Structure formats: C-alpha cells, structure tokens
Amino acid sequence: MSTRRNVLKLFAAAAIVGTAAGSIEVFAQIRATAQSAATPAADRVGLKGYDPVAYFTLSRPTVGLADYEYVYDGVRYHFANARHRDMFKANPEKYVPQFGGICANNLANGVRRESDPTIWVIINDKLYVFAGAAGADRFRREGEIAALKAATNWKTLKDAPSQ
C-alpha cells in the first residue's frame, strides 16, 4: 500500500515540476519504478515449494521448507535442509528445473502449461517436470528429441501466460 502511495506522490510531483521534456523523462522513471514495485523480485516459489536438489539426491520429490530458502534468477526455492540449499547455491544450473518448471511435454507440443512437481524425470542430468503422467512417459520415450522441441518452443513461450 505504501508503495502505491509513493508512486502516486511521484506522479503528483512530476505533474507539478519540470518542463515537457523533463516530465517525459520523469514519467518514464516513475513507470519503471511502478512496474518494479508491482513485480517484486522472487515473487514466485519454484517447483511449488518442492526441493529441487531432492530429485537428484533422494530420487523423489520432497517438500522444502521456507526456513531453507534461496533466491535464484528471481525465483524462491525451498529446500528440505541446509545441505540441499548449499548444494543448490554452489551449482544452481545443475538443479534448477528446465523451462522454469513449466511442463516440458506441453512445451514440446507448443503449449505453455503449469506442471505438477510430483511428476518428473531426469534426462541427461537435467530435471524436467510435467502436468501429467502420460506427458512424462511420452517425453521420456522421445528423450532428446522432445527436449529439443521444448527448448525451441521455450524461446517464444517463455513469457506467454500458461494455459
């Protein structure tokens, strides 16, 4: 709430102060401030709170705890313990889910869909999560071909809304 008030105060100040050219620059800065306030860093929990390291070390999805949280690439990840958090910190690219945790099978088919982190597979030491078991089975069968299709589609669907 106070962020909104501050943004409104900045708009009021910009309306009162400055020339036309100066106001344009001030308004651009205000818009950037408002956008960053509306989308705070780490506003989302990766893998819906599941520990990304546990898939590799325990071979199963394990719910993480907010007490063992680490922010990577603007996403909060929860871990089952400090050891897992520290392993992730040391090598996040090894453990982070592919495609931001979006369903890899749907991506391979050109659709962005949220995943269920309890449905997963590791292929070539990379974690993939899926919306359903049938999609995971299909992706597993197709292996690298499906991964390449998903990676290609991710380039255009990364910022699209999920269906």
b/e sequence 70-94, b meaning 16+ C-beta within 10 Å = bebeebbbbbbbeebbebbeeeeee
What is residue 42's predicted lDDT score, i.e. its pLDDT? 56
Q: Which residue has the tokens 């949280």?
A: 69
Our measurement of the distance from residue 161's CA atom to the centroid of its chain's CA atoms, rounded to an integer in Å, reads 12
Give me the pLDDT at residue 161, please: 86
pLDDT confidence band for 43 (50 / 70 / 90): confident
Q: Read off the pLDDT of each residue in 25-52 and give the average, rounded to a whole number.
A: 59
Tell me if 103 sits within 8 A of 89, measured CB to CB.
no
Helix (H, G, I), strand (E, B) or coil at 65: strand
The chain-wide mean pLDDT, for the chain, equals: 82
C-alpha 105: how far from chain center: 17
> pLDDT for 65-92, tens place per residue?
999 999 999 999 999 999 999 999 999 9
Judge residue 65's burial from the number of C-beta atoms within 10 Å of its C-beta, 0-12 exposed, 13-18 middle, 19 or more buried.
middle
Over the range 33-57, which residues count as b (16 or more CB within 10 Å of their CB) and which as e? ebeeeeeeeeeebbbbbbbbbbbee
Distance CA 80, CA 47 (A): 13
